[in-house]
A and B are shown apart, each in its own frame.
Chain A
C-alpha cells in the first residue's frame, strides 16, 4: 500500500468516532477527536482540573471546539493558536488565573496574583535566549494533567515538589547557565534532614522547598525580599515551628522563635539588623536542617566563636562534659534564648553557672577556681572604672589626657580577653590576662592622677604669678606717683 493511501485509510477510521461523538450533547469536539486518536495530551487531560471544570482544549489552544470539521475547528482566523510556546504559555494561563472575575465564575478560591509574583521572582526575571523566561507555569504544574496542589499526583504536591524543583536545581550543567555559584546538592542534603526524612516517609506536613522559598515569590537568598534571607529566616521557620497546633504531633517545643527574638543573636539580627548574627539555619543547617547533636554543639558555636571553642576543647571540662554527655556550650549558655554572657555567670553565687556542678562539697577545686576567677575579673572591672573616673575628672578640668584614655582601651580589651579565657578553665592563663589589664589600669590611673595634680599646680602657679605681677604693677604705680609728685 502506498503511503498516501495508508493516511487516507487512517483518517477514515478515525473519523468514525468523531462522527459518532459529534452530537449536540457533547460539544468539545477537540477532546473527542484527540481522545479517539489516543494521544497523550488528551489522555492526561481527562483528569485535568480544567477539564473537570468544563474548560475545553480550545480554552488554551484557541479554535472552535464545537466544530466537527477539523479544518473549521482549527482555523487561525477564529483564533486557533496550536501549541503555545515560551512566554505565551504563562500569558495564556494568566488570562484566566490573573483575572479574578473569570476565576470567580468557577467558584475558585485560588489567589490571582501568582502571575505578578512569578514576574517579580528570580524565575520571572531570568530570561533564556534573550526573550522567554526560564520558568513558565507548565514547568512546575505540567500542561495537560494539571490537578489540585493537594492532589498527590500534582508535581507541586509536598510529596513531589522536591523532585519537581530538582529537575533543574540538581542539574549542574543546567544551573551553570544561570547561577554557577548556586549549589546543586540541596536534594541530597534535604534527604538527610529531619524534614527530608519525614517527607520521604509520606509526611506532607514536613517542610519542602516551597515551604521556605515560597511557590511563586522565589527571590535570591541575598535579597531582602526573600523568605530565606538571613533577616527573614526566623519568621519563615516560625511559620511552622512556632505554631503549637501545627507542631502538635511532633512533640517538640514551639517557643524557640519567641526565645530567639529575645536572645543576643535575635536582638542583633532582628533589631540591630546585623546580618552577620546567626539565624536558625546557621546552627541547624538549611536544606539539611537537624538539631545539632551533643557532640557537635561546640563545633557549631565554634564556627563563629572560634577562640572560645578552641579553649574549651583544650580545657579539662571537655572530657568531663563528654563523659556526662553534657551539650557543651549549651550547658552554660543555653540555646535559642542565649543571652549576653556577663560576669555574673562566673563564680559560685546563685547566678553563676559554675555552681551547678561545683560546690563547697563537690568538685571543690573547680569551686575555688571559679571563686578566684570571679574575684579577679571583678577587681579588673573596678580598677577600670576607677581609672576612668580619674580620667574623666582630669578631662573635666580641661587637662589633655587623650593618650592615657586611649590606653584604657587595652584594659577593656584585657577584660574581654579574660572573659574568653574563662573557657580555658585554666587559672594561670586567666591570671596572665587579668594582670595585663591591671597593669594598664594602674598606669592610666597614675597618669590621670598626675594630670589632676598638674591642674592644681597650674592654678597655684597662676595664683602666684598673678600675685607677683600685681605686686609689681602696684609697686610701679606707687613709684610713678612718687616720681610725679616730686
Chain B
C-alpha cells in the first residue's frame, strides 16, 4: 500500500515537481500563542463553503428556478430524492454556520489587528467575501419560494429601495420589476448559483494565496518578540491536521443539526396572501432590521429608514476600511479606540439580535 502511494507520488512528482511544494509547506510555520484557536475559523469557513458548493451542486440536479416549480421541486427533493432531505438540510444549516464562522473569523482578525499592513488586501477580500455570504444567504432564502421567504425578500428589497437616489433602481434591479415576482426568483437564482460563486471563487483564491504567501499574522504584543521566544508549529502536517480535526467536529455538529432539526419548507408563496405575522429576516440581518424598527419615522428632515440605511452604510464602510484609518496598529502601536469600537459593535449586534429574536 505504501509502495503504491509512493509510486503514485513519484509519478505526479515527475510531472509537476511536487517536491518543491512539499519543501515550501515543510518550511512554513504557524505561530503558537494564546489566540491560536481563532486561526482555525478561517479554515472552518472554508470547509463550510466547500460543503455549500457540493450540496448546492447536488440540489441543482433537481431544483427548478421558476415561480411555478421552485416550491414543488424542493418538495420533491425532500420527499422523493434519496437523501434529498439531508442534502437540503445540510445546505441550509451549513449556510448559517458559514456566516457564523465567518463572523467569528472577522472579529478575531479585527481584535488581533491581523488586518494591519501588509495584510490589507487579505482583510478586504475577506470582507467582500462576507458581504457575498450575506448575498448568498439573502438570494438563497428566496429559492424555495415559500411564504416566509417571499415576504422576507419583499421587506429586504424594500429596505434596499430606501437608499437615496440609487435605492429605487437597485430595488427594480433586484426584483426584476416593481414587485417580488417570478422574475425576482430567476434573478436570485442566477445570482446565487452563477454570479456570486464566480466572484467568490476569485476572491477566495486571492485570499488563500495571500494567507499562504504572507503567513499567519501574530497579535501585536507578540509580533515584536525576538525569534527565539516565539513558538511555532509546522503548517504541514501539524496545523493542517488540527484544521482537519476541527472540520470533523463541525461535520458532526452539522450532521446532528440536519437530522434533528431538518429545515422546514413551509407554505408555498402566494403574492395575494397577506404577510404572516411577525415576519423576520435571517438572524444575521436581525440587528439591522431591529435597529430600523427603533428609529423614529422622521429624524429632523430625514426619513428614519433612510437615516438607518445611511448609518449602516457609513458604519460598514468604516469597518471595511479599518486597515487604512488605523495607522497606529500598522506601526506596531496599540490602538485602544479600535478595540473599544469593535467591542461596541459586538455588544450592539448581540443585543439587537437578541431583542429582534425575542420581539
Does A469 sit at the interface, judged by CB under 8 A?
yes
Q: Please, which residues of chain B bring their CB within 8 A of the CB of A470?
A: 252
Q: Does B255 contact A462, Cβ atoms closer than 8 Å?
A: yes
Q: Mark B252-265, 1 if CB is under 8 A from A, else 0.
A: 10011001101001
Q: CB within 8 Å of B: which of A440-486?
A: 458-459, 461-462, 465-466, 469-470, 472-473, 476-477, 479-480, 483-484
Beta-carbon contact of B79 and A462 below 8 Å: no
Contact present for B79 and A473 (CB under 8 Å): no
B75 located at the interface, meaning its Cβ lies under 8 Å from any Cβ of chain A in the complex = yes
Q: What per-residue 1/0 map shows which CB atoms of B112-127 lie under 8 Å from chain A?
A: 0000000000000000
Contact indicator A483/B241 (Cβ below 8 Å): yes
- Known A400-B79, A473-B249: A484·B255 in contact at CB below 8 Å: no
Q: How far is the CB of A382 from chain B (nearest CB, A)?
A: 27
- The verdict on B289 contacting chain A, using a C-beta distance below 8 Å, is no
Instruction: Return chain A residues, CB-CB under 8 Å to B244.
Output: 476
Residues on A with beta carbons closer than 8 Å to the beta carbon of B251: 469
A480-B255 contact, Cβ under 8 Å, with A400-B75, A400-B85: no
Nearest 8 pairs of A and B residues by beta carbon: A473-B248, A462-B259, A400-B79, A469-B252, A476-B245, A400-B78, A480-B241, A469-B248
CA distance A479 to B251 in the complex (A): 19
**B 274-313 binary contact with A (CB < 8 Å = 1; else 0):** 0000000000000000000000000000000000000000
Since A466-B256, A469-B251, A469-B255 are in contact, a sample of 7 more A-B pairs with Cβ atoms closer than 8 Å, ordered by chain A residue number, is A398-B262, A400-B78, A403-B79, A462-B256, A473-B249, A473-B252, A479-B241
Give the residue of A398, A461, A462, A472 whose beta carbon is less than 8 angstroms from that of B248.
Answer: A472
Chain B stretch 3-62: residues in CB contact (< 8 A) with chain A? none
B327 CB → nearest A CB, Å: 39
Q: Is B334 positioned at the interface, with any CB of A under 8 Å from its CB?
A: no
Closest B residue by C-beta to A472: B248
Q: Residues of A contacting B86 with CB < 8 Å?
A: 458
The reply to whether the CB of B237 lies closer than 8 angstroms to some CB of chain A is: yes
B238 at the interface (CB under 8 A from A): yes
Q: List 11 A-B contacts (CB under 8 A).
A: A400-B265, A461-B259, A469-B248, A469-B252, A469-B255, A470-B252, A472-B248, A473-B252, A476-B244, A476-B248, A480-B238
A79 sits at the interface (CB 8 A): no
How many whole Å from A151's CB to the nearest CB in chain B?
62
Residues on A with C-beta less than 8 A from B233 are 484
Query: In the complex where A470-B252, A476-B248 touch, is A484 in contact with B238 (Cβ < 8 A)?
Result: yes
Residues of A within 8 A of B252 (CB): 466, 469-470, 473
Interface centre among A466, A469, A484 (most CB of B within 10 A): A469
- Residue of B at shortest CB range from A463? B259
Q: Return the CB mask of B80-109 against A: 1 if under 8 Å, else 0.
A: 000001100000000000000000000000
Chain A contacts of B328 at CB under 8 A?
none
B242 beta carbon closer than 8 Å to chain A: yes
- A458-B259, A459-B259, A469-B252 as given contacts; A480 in contact with B75, CB under 8 Å: no
Question: Which residues of B pack against A, CB within 8 Å?
Answer: 75, 78-79, 85-86, 233, 237-238, 241-242, 244-245, 248-249, 251-252, 255-256, 259-260, 262, 265
Choice from A398, A461, A465, A480 contacting B245 with Cβ under 8 Å = A480
* Residue A402, interface by CB 8 Å: yes
Give Cα A473 to B242, complex, Å. Answer: 10
Grouping DSSP codes into helix (H, G, I), strand (E, B) and loop, the B interface class, with mixed when no group exceeds half, is: helix
- Chain B residues with CB below 8 A from A479, complex form: 241
| CB-defined contacts of B237 to chain A, threshold 8 Å | 483
- The answer, among B245, B256, B260, for a CB contact under 8 Å with A473, is B245
Q: Residues of A at under 8 Å CB distance from B?
A: 398, 400, 402-403, 458-459, 461-462, 465-466, 469-470, 472-473, 476-477, 479-480, 483-484
A480 CA / B262 CA spacing, docked (Å): 34
With both chains docked as a complex, state the minimum distance between the C-beta of A263 and any C-beta of chain B, in angstroms: 37
A116 nearest CB across to chain B (Å): 42
**How many whole Å from B179's CB to the nearest CB in chain A?**
28
CB distance from B80 to the nearest CB of A (A): 9
| Nearest chain B residue, comparing its CB with the CB of A477 | B245
Chain A residues near B255 (CB, 8 Å)?
Answer: 462, 465-466, 469
Minimal Cβ-Cβ distance residue in A for B258: A462
Kindly list chain A residues whose C-beta atoms are within 8 Å of the C-beta of B85: 400
Assembly CA distance A458 to B75 (angstroms): 18
Cα distance A470–B256 in the bound complex, in angstroms = 12
Q: Report how many A-B pairs have Cβ atoms within 8 Å.
A: 46
| CB nearest to B239 among chain A residues | A480
Q: Shortest beta-carbon distance, B243 to chain A, in Å? A: 10
Chain A, Cβ-Cβ closest to B249: A473
Alpha-carbon distance between A400 and B262 when the two chains are bound, in angstroms: 10
State the Cβ distance, A333 to closest chain B Cβ, in Å: 40
CA distance A69 to B138 in the complex (A): 100
Which B residues are in CB contact (< 8 Å) with A458? 86, 259
Chain B residues with Cβ under 8 A from A465's Cβ?
A: 255
Chain B residue at minimum C-beta to C-beta distance from A400: B79
Give CA–CA (A46, B14) in the complex, Å: 137
Given contacts A400-B79, A403-B79, A480 and B242 within 8 Å (CB-CB): yes
A400–B266 CA distance with the chains assembled, in angstroms: 11
Contacts of A477 in B (CB 8 A): 245
Q: Which residues of A contact B249 (CB under 8 A)?
A: 473
Instruction: List B contacts of A461 (CB < 8 A).
Output: 259
B129 to chain A, nearest CB (A): 27
Complex interface: chain A residues within 8 A of B245 (CB): 473, 476-477, 480
Q: How far is the CA of A402 from the CA of B248 in the complex (A)?
A: 34
Alpha-carbon distance between A391 and B308 when the two chains are bound, in angstroms = 48
User: Shortest distance in angstroms between A473's beta carbon and chain B's nearest beta carbon?
Assistant: 4
| Closest B residue by C-beta to A476 | B245
Could you tell me the distance in whole angstroms from the C-beta of B293 to the nearest C-beta in chain A?
Answer: 32
Complex: chain B residue closest to A455, CB-CB? B259
CB-CB nearest in chain A for B233: A484
Which A residues touch B75, using CB under 8 A? 400, 402
Question: How far, in whole Å, are A161 and B333 apart by their CA atoms in the complex?
Answer: 109
Chain B residues near A400: list those with CB within 8 A: 75, 78-79, 85, 265
For the complex formed, measure the closest distance between the CB of A267 and the CB atoms of chain B, giving whole angstroms: 31
Chain B min CB distance to A475 (Å): 10
Most buried by A among B85, B237, B259: B259
Bound CA span A465–B258, Å: 12
- How many Å from the CB of B44 to the closest CB on chain A? 14
Cα A132 to Cα B324 in complex, Å, equals: 88
Task: Please give the distance in Å from B231's CB to the nearest CB on chain A.
Answer: 12
Query: What residue in chain B is nearest A470 (Cβ atoms)?
Result: B252
Among residues of B, the one whose C-beta sits closest to the C-beta of A454 is B85
Q: In the bound complex, what is the Cα–Cα distance between A402 and B262 (angstroms)?
A: 16
What is the distance, in angstroms, from A353's C-beta to the closest C-beta of chain B?
44
Measured CB to CB, the closest approach of chain A to B254, in angstroms, equals 10
Smallest CB–CB gap between A472 and chain B, Å? 6
Cα of A426 to Cα of B222 in the assembled complex, Å: 94
Residue of A nearest to B241 (CB): A480
Q: Which chain A residues lie closer than 8 Å to B265 at the CB level?
A: 400
A476 to B238, CA, bound (A): 11
B89 to chain A, nearest CB (A): 10
**Minimum CB–CB distance for A16 against chain B, Å:** 87
Q: Are B242 and A402 in contact (CB under 8 A)?
A: no
Write the chain B residue with the least CB distance to A483.
Answer: B238
- The answer to whether A476 and B241 touch (CB under 8 A), given A400-B79, A403-B79, A469-B252, is yes
Bound-state CA distance A140–B233 (Å) is: 112
Distance in Å from the Cβ of A105 to the closest Cβ of chain B? 62
Q: How far is the CB of B265 from chain A (nearest CB, A)?
A: 8
CB nearest to B79 among chain A residues: A400
